[in-house]
Amino acid sequence: MRTQVGIVGSGPAGLLLSHLLAQQGIESVMVEDRSREYVEARVRAGVLEHGAVKTLTDAGLGERLHREGSRHDGIYLQFPGERHRLDFPDLCGESVWVYGQTELTRDLFVSRLAHGQQIYFEASDVHIVDADSDQPRITFIDSDGHAQVIECDYVAGCDGFHGVSRATIPESIRTVRERHYPFAWLGILAQVAPSTDELIYAWHPDGFALHSMRSDTVSRLYLQVELDDDIANWSDDRIWDNLATRFALDGWSLESGPTLEKGITPMRSYVSAPMRWGRLFLAGDASHIVPPTGAKGLNLAIADVRRLAEAMGHAVLHGSDDLLNRYSDDALQRVWQSTYFSWWMTSMLHTPAANDPDADFLRQMQITQLRYVTGSRAAMETVAENYTGKSMDGIEGLLAR
Ligand code: RFL
Ligand code: PHB
């Protein structure tokens, strides 16, 4: 089989790339190691930057997002006894949108399959071969057990953090920079109306908590827990008790409800560079992951793919490799800005481990920082322009000049 772009992975990065390529008349074939149902059911991110919404809207993918998603003009930052709102339009002229990654993935699958996109689901033994030659290939075993080969002009590695694409790039030319955090997030999806109109990021001596949402009837909430904690230790009652304690504020109460899903996710910052090797290009989690505190993972994947689709279009339609040659350097500017912001938010909001000898000092620093970040307009503008993605668009604007 032959195609112009072979795409490994059909998460949001791979699906959106195939869509943006198809809009330019460029053909692709996708290889995914899970089933469509599995990919669609994964509960993950919820916040889209204004630029991500624009990318999706311009690509004709904004219909349900605008109908069922909701624009948020701010977030709350909380520490004991105080909850402060950051008004994004006032601070930086932008907003964000709350629309679940599951919904976006569903929209992308519906649109791609309606347009005849070829996707091999439940592929196994996936390999990228000769990526540094003019004839790269993806080899795999399809769901019927048949060996398949896709010959292509380019390979896009969109197979997430645990995929095979990144590992195809020789260790000798890759540099990995990473940080492991000494805590994890316990996340729940609950059948209950959100108790807040906008997201609440709360610092508490017992640990961080986040109140997010998916719709008028479904809430998404997170708790900072021990790194090696087991979800079996967390009954629904224990989760709701901890959430109520960490969000407590006079005159406000947290509504609880049945839990639809729960799980624990470790937190890590990780960047592997370069994002290109020969004709293999990495996008999204395949190349970098951030702790979810800044809500950046999905947004970075969308930004990478927008850039990669444009660069591949430039190469295929105009015969110029200029943008492909710049892809890795340009994409990494935004990756590092988002990595910085995610690390900064994470460090400010997560309480240090009890056995950290500096714990008392660090907690005092965090409260002092939160007072400053919620009291100084300059500091609030910094949060607003990073959270909405405006600062990242600024970086791209600088590069474009
Ligand atoms: P994805 O979504 O991981 O999709 C990669 C796809 O590739 C497939 N795959 C393979 N296919 C073929 N061959 C192989 N060998 C393959 N190996 C894997 C996978 O099955 C999958 O379908 O990466 P992508 O597209 O780059 O999208 C990135 C986003 O999904 C990610 O950044 C965010 O979801 C990160 N993230 C969160 N981000 C936020 O902004 N807020 C959150 O609350 C949030 N929660 C999360 C998260 C990521 C999580 N992971 C990865 C463990 C919660 C979790 C649990
Ligand atoms: C979510 O709704 O899942 C969500 C929102 C904001 C974050 C992380 C996760 O920072």
Average pLDDT over residues 74-102: 97
Q: Which one of the listed residues 72, 204, 288, 390 is annotated catalytic?
A: 72
Q: Which tens digits make up the pLDDT trace of 128-170?
A: 999 999 999 999 999 999 999 999 999 999 999 999 999 999 9
Going by alpha carbons, the residue nearest to atom 43 of ligand 1 is 45
Q: Which tens digits make up the pLDDT trace of 225-270?
A: 999 999 999 999 999 999 999 999 999 999 999 999 999 999 999 9
DSSP codes of every residue in 184-246: EEEEEEESS--SSSS-EEE--TT--EEEEESSSS-EEEEEEEETT--GGG--HHHHHHHHHHH
pLDDT at residue 396 tops 80: no
Element (H, E) at 175: strand 175-190
Return the percentage of the chain with pLDDT > 70, whole number: 98
- Asked about 274 being catalytic, the answer comes back as no
**Does the CB atom of residue 256 touch ligand 2 within 6 A?**
no
Ligand 2 nearest atom to the CA of residue 44, by list position: 3
**Does the CB atom of residue 159 touch ligand 1 within 6 A?**
yes
Q: Which one of the listed residues 12, 291, 292, 352 is annotated catalytic?
A: 292
Task: State how far the Cα of 259 lies from the Cα of 257, in Å rounded to an integer.
Answer: 6
> Which ligand sits closest to the CA of 108?
1
> Which ligand sits closest to the CA of 48?
1
Average pLDDT over residues 46-67: 96
CB contact at 8 A, 222 and 282: no
Cα 296 to ligand 2 centre (Å): 9
Average pLDDT over residues 372-398: 88
Q: Which one of the listed residues 211, 296, 350, 390 is annotated catalytic?
A: 296
Task: State how far the Cα of 8 lies from the Cα of 91, in Å rounded to an integer.
Answer: 40
Going by alpha carbons, the residue nearest to atom 4 of ligand 1 is 11
> Which ligand sits closest to the CA of 42?
1
Nearest to 206 by CA among 236, 258, 244: 244
Residue 399: what pLDDT? 45
**Does the CB atom of residue 295 touch ligand 1 within 6 A?**
yes
Residue 400: what pLDDT? 45
Residue 398: what pLDDT? 47
**Does the CB atom of residue 138 touch ligand 1 within 6 A?**
no
Cα 48 to ligand 2 centre (Å): 10
**Does the CB atom of residue 292 touch ligand 1 within 6 A?**
yes
Task: State how far the Cα of 239 lies from the Cα of 241, in Å rounded to an integer.
Answer: 6
Residue 38: what pLDDT? 94
Pocket test for ligand 2, best of 210, 219, 267 (most atoms within 8 A of CB): 210
SS3 content of the chain, % helix, strand, coil (to 5): 40, 30, 30
Strands (E), 34-142: 47-49, 70-72, 74-79, 82-87, 96-98, 118-120, 124-129, 137-141
Helices (H), 236-319: 236-247, 297-318
Average pLDDT of the residues of the chain:
96
**Does the CB atom of residue 265 touch ligand 1 within 6 A?**
yes
Residue 397: what pLDDT? 54
Average pLDDT over residues 326-337: 97
Return the percentage of the chain with pLDDT > 90, whole number: 95
List beta partners, residue 179: 269
Average pLDDT over residues 194-212: 98
- Asked about 270 being catalytic, the answer comes back as no
Cα 109 to ligand 1 centre (Å): 15
Judged on CB neighbours under 10 Å (0-12, 13-18, 19+), 277 is buried
The CA dihedral of 247, 253, 255, 256, to the nearest 10 degrees, is 50
The neighbour count for residue 149, using CB atoms within 10 Å, is: 13
pTM of the model: 0.96
Nearest to 272 by CA among 194, 160, 380: 160
Ligand 1 nearest atom to the CA of residue 295, by list position: 40
CB-hemisphere CA count at 13 Å for 3?
Answer: 23
pLDDT at residue 43 tops 90: no
pLDDT at residue 73 tops 60: yes
